[in-house]
Structure 1
Amino acid sequence: MLTKKDIRKQFLERRLNLDAGTAAALNSRLLENCRQLDYSGVHRVHTFLPITEKKEVNTWPIIRWLRQTYPHLQWVLPRALLSTGEMEHFLWEEHTPLVNSRYGIPEPAGGMRIAPEALDLVLVPMLAFDRAGHRVGYGKGMYDRFLQQCRPDVRTVGLSLFEPVNVIIDTDDHDVPLDTVVTPDTIFHFDKK
C-alpha cells in the first residue's frame, strides 16, 4: 500500500520519463475522451494551464476544442498565493496577460476576480488518483482548499495521463474527491455520496 508521498514520487517520475512522442499520444487520446463529456449547463469553466517542465496534462488542445465547440463558455484561471496556500481566480479573456510564476505556472497577471461559487466546472490537475476519486497533487493542498469553496454542485473533472492506483491509504477529511477523472483510456465517474 502506497502513501501520498510514495505515489507523488512514483507518478512524477513516470511523467517526467515520458518521451515527447508518448506524451503527445497520451494527451491526444485524453482530448478525445474529454470530447465525450457532457457540458450542458456549464457556463463558467475553471482550468489550469500546464507546467511544461513537469510534463503536466496539456490543457491547451482541450481549451481550444471547448472554445470552438462551446463559444459561450467563460474561462477562469487561478493564480497561486504561495505565502498563504490559497488561490485567486480571474476571468480569462483574450486580452488577459499571462505571466509565468516562479514555478513555471502560466497565470493571469490580473483582471476581473471570480468567486469560486460562480464556477460550474473545474478541470483539476493531478499526479495520480485512486478508484474512489481521491487525487494526489504536489502536496500543498491548494486545490482541496479551493474546491471546498466551490458550490456543492460544481462539476470537478480531473485530468490524468495514467490509470488509477487502487487506493490512497492516507486520505483525510480535507481531501475533496472528484466527480470524474479523464485518462487517455477511460472516463471514471465517482459517486461522492
Structure 2
Amino acid sequence: MTLTKKDIRKTYLARRLALGEEETASLNAALLDQCRTLDLGTPTFVHLFLPIAAKREVDTYPVADWLRAAYPGVQLVLSRSYLATGNMQHFRWDDQTRLVENAWGIPEPVSGRIVAPKDIDVVFVPMLAFDSAGHRVGYGKGMYDEFLRQCREDVRSIGLSLFPPLPGLIEDAYDGDVPMDTIVTPEQIYYFSAYK
C-alpha cells in the first residue's frame, strides 16, 4: 500500500487533533518513557523543537527536562524559522532565552547565542507520520530536510511521533527527503541505522 504526503498530512493531522486531552497526555507520557531509554552518547549540542499546541504536537518540554537531567553538560538548541527563505537559525536555549510564538504558533527564541548546524550532535525532529523506511511527513515546507543536510554526516536524527508507522510506504518520498536514524513512539523505538 502506498500513500501520498498530501493524503497522509490531512489524515494524520486530523487524527492528532481528534485526540482527547487525557489520551494526549497518556501518549506523551509513554513517549517520554521511551525517550528515557535512548543512549545519546556524549552530546554537546542537542536540537529540540517546541510544540505547536494548537496542532497537538508531541510535548517536548518534559523531553527537555529529561535531557537536562540525564545529560548535565548538554546545551539545548532551538530554531527560529524564516518562511520567506525556508531557512532556520539556531540558538542556545538557556535561562536568558526569551520565547515568542511565531505565525505558525511555534515558540521560538527571539535572539541568543547562535549555534552552527555542523556543531549539533543530535536533532529531535517533529513529524505527522512516518513509514517503515524512516521517511517522515511533516507540514510540507521542507525546512527540517534542509537543516539536516546542513548538519554533519554523523548527526543523529530522532523523530518523535504519537502514532506507529504508516501501513504502507510514502509514495512520493524523494531523494531530498532526509530519513530518520531513529523514531520514538509511545509504543516503541524504531531504528533505521546503526544507533541502538
Same fold (TM over 0.5): yes
Aligned to 1:150: 151
Provide the C-alpha distance between the structure 1 equivalents of 2:116 and 2:107, rounded to a whole number of angstroms: 20
Aligned to 2:59: 58
Provide the C-alpha distance between the structure 1 equivalents of 2:60 and 2:189, rounded to a whole number of angstroms: 16
Give the secondary structure class of the aligned counterpart of 1:172: coil
Aligned to 1:115: 116
The one-character-per-residue Cα deviations of 1:83-128 (angstroms, maximum 9, x if unpaired) are 1011110111111100110111000001111110000000000000
Provide the C-alpha distance between the structure 1 equivalents of 2:71 and 2:149, rounded to a whole number of angstroms: 27
Provide the C-alpha distance between the structure 2 equivalents of 1:68 and 1:188, rounded to a whole number of angstroms: 24
Alignment of 1:103-142 (within 5 A): 103-142=104-143
- Unmatched 5+ residue regions in structure 2? none
Aligned residues: 192
Alignment of 1:1-193 (within 5 A): 1-165=2-166, 166-191=168-193
* Amino acid in the other structure paired with 1:172: Y
Provide the C-alpha distance between the structure 2 equivalents of 1:117 and 1:100, rounded to a whole number of angstroms: 26
* Amino acid in the other structure paired with 2:170: I
* Amino acid in the other structure paired with 1:68: A
TM-score, L = length of structure 2: 0.96
CA RMSD of aligned residues (A): 0.9
8 Å CA contact 2:127–2:159 kept in 1: the answer is: yes
TM-score, L = length of structure 1: 0.97
Provide the C-alpha distance between the structure 2 equivalents of 1:86 and 1:39, rounded to a whole number of angstroms: 26
* Amino acid in the other structure paired with 1:167: L
Segments of 4+ in structure 1 off by > 4 A?
none
Identical aligned pairs, as a percentage?
57
Provide the C-alpha distance between the structure 2 equivalents of 1:65 and 1:38, rounded to a whole number of angstroms: 13
